[in-house]
Amino acid sequence: MFNSSSKIIDGIQHSKNLLHRVKTLASVSEDFNKRKPCIAVILVGENSASEIYVKNKIKTANNIGIKSIKISYPSSVLENDLLSQIKKLNDQNEVDGILVQLPLPNHISEEKIVLSIDPSKDVDGFHPINFGNLFLGNYTMLPCTPLGCLHLLKKELGSLSGLNAVIVGRSNIVGKPMQSLLLKENCTTIITHSKTINLSEFTLKADILISAIGKPKFIKKNHIKPGSVVIDVGINRIKLDNKNKIVGDVDFEDVIEKVKSITPVPGGVGPMTIACLMYNTVKASYLRNNNKFKEVIFDE
Ligand code: GUN
């Protein structure tokens, strides 16, 4: 029987290792600043997936010595009220990070909300200033999911220099920032997307394949270069045999024999996103207080 376990990139274990380091950094920050690093999380409405994500973020923060403030609003909240709340948090010195859980109700402009967050507290890395800095190769606050993917890739492969990286999906949250990070690691990068013609022509060249397209089990073995490393960012909720299930963008069972290694869903990229959010919060607490910060997350 074929044993796939040695090929699985264990995101839960990698996130625990990273959180262990972040906990130490948080404790040093507390010694320096005489207070814990602090993240404020804003949740709007009753989206059950968002509620679970926020709960996990708060629980993880509290476990590793980061103070958290949760602010909940009904979906009817006015955009101006949200903007006033963010301004208040921007002005509070003891708040290091601000995260507004997305998506927001249709009557609120996500763009306006993200733009209102002080870039030095933008632990999501979504503010145009942080996004622009990333594209210029000046790292400030980096988006958590691409950062988590890069961390896993470096742990798996060491140097990424010269490798072909193909990204499926061109979102602002994953695809585009992922390409920037991989370019800086000296990968040759290609972004493909839902309108790409003959996708496998590109993916078959990928030493590293990252899928963030949001289509359940979309990537099959005919897309895979033998011996490649596959990072599955997809979190797709489907009904299978009358049960709710979460599956990735990659058909795990179909590709497993062909790949060198692969992240599972769940238990791959998801836990890394939260660990990187904690990392960004502690990083913000260092930088806002003019303490020197070493980017341990890029260690191989
Ligand atoms: N919704 C889904 N993923 C994210 C994320 O990484 N950050 C925020 N703020 N909202 C999200």
Q: What is the pLDDT of residues 119-164, one digit of tens each?
A: 999 999 999 999 999 999 998 999 999 999 999 999 999 999 999 9
Please report the pLDDT score of residue 21 as a whole number.
Answer: 97
Q: What CATH fold (topology level) applies to the domain 144-270?
A: Rossmann fold (3.40.50)
User: Token digits for 190?
Assistant: 């290609």
193: number of Cβ within 10 Å: 14
Atom of ligand 1 nearest to the CA of 124: 7
Inform me whether the pLDDT recorded for 1 exceeds 60: no
CA of 22 to the centre of ligand 1 (A): 20
> pLDDT at position 15, please?
98
* DSSP per-residue string spanning 184-202: HTT-EEEEE-TT-SSHHHH
Rounded distance, CA 247 to CA 255, Å? 14
Q: How many CB atoms lie within 10 A of CB 146?
A: 29
Query: Is 144-270 in the same CATH topology as 34-119?
Result: yes
The three-state secondary structure class of 97 is: strand
pLDDT at 2 over 70: no
For 243-275, b/e burial (b = at least 16 CB within 10 A) is eeeebbbbbbeebbebbbbbbbbeebbbbbbbb
Roughly what angle, to the nearest 10 degrees, separates helices 144-157 and 269-288?
A: 110
For range 275-288, the mean pLDDT: 97
Burial 13-26 (b: 16+ CB within 10 A, else e): ebbeebbebbbebb
CA distance to 20, 92, 151, per residue, from 17 (Å): 5, 31, 11
Per-residue model confidence as pLDDT tens digits over 199-221: 999 999 999 999 999 999 999 99
Using CB distances shorter than 6 Å, the residues near ligand 1 are 99-102, 124, 144-145, 273
Residue closest by Cα to atom 9 of ligand 1: 101
Q: Are 39 and 32 in contact (CB under 8 A)?
A: no
Average pLDDT over residues 246-272: 98
Tokens of 182: 């991989």
Domain boundaries, the chain: 34-119, 144-270
Q: How far apart, in whole angstroms, are the C-alpha atoms of residue 250 and residue 232?
A: 6
Superfamily of domain 34-119: Leucine Dehydrogenase, chain A, domain 1 (3.40.50.10860)
DSSP 33: H
Measured between its terminal Cα atoms, the distance across the chain in Å is 33
Say whether pLDDT at 235 is over 90.
yes
158-202 pLDDT tens trace: 999 999 999 999 999 999 999 999 999 999 999 999 999 999 999
* Candidate of 48, 51, 57, 102 to mutate for ligand 1, largest count of ligand atoms within 8 Å of Cβ: 102
Determine contact, residues 96/66, Cβ cutoff 8 Å: no
At 35-62, the pLDDT tens digits run 999 999 999 999 999 999 999 999 999 9
Active-site choice (7, 57, 225, 258): 57
Active site residue 124: yes
Closest among 131, 89, 115, 60 to 273, alpha carbons compared:
60
What percent of the chain is modeled with pLDDT above 70?
99
Instruction: Give the angle 204-1-8 at the CA atoms, nearest 5°.
Output: 50
Residues 15 and 272: beta-carbon distance below 8 Å: yes
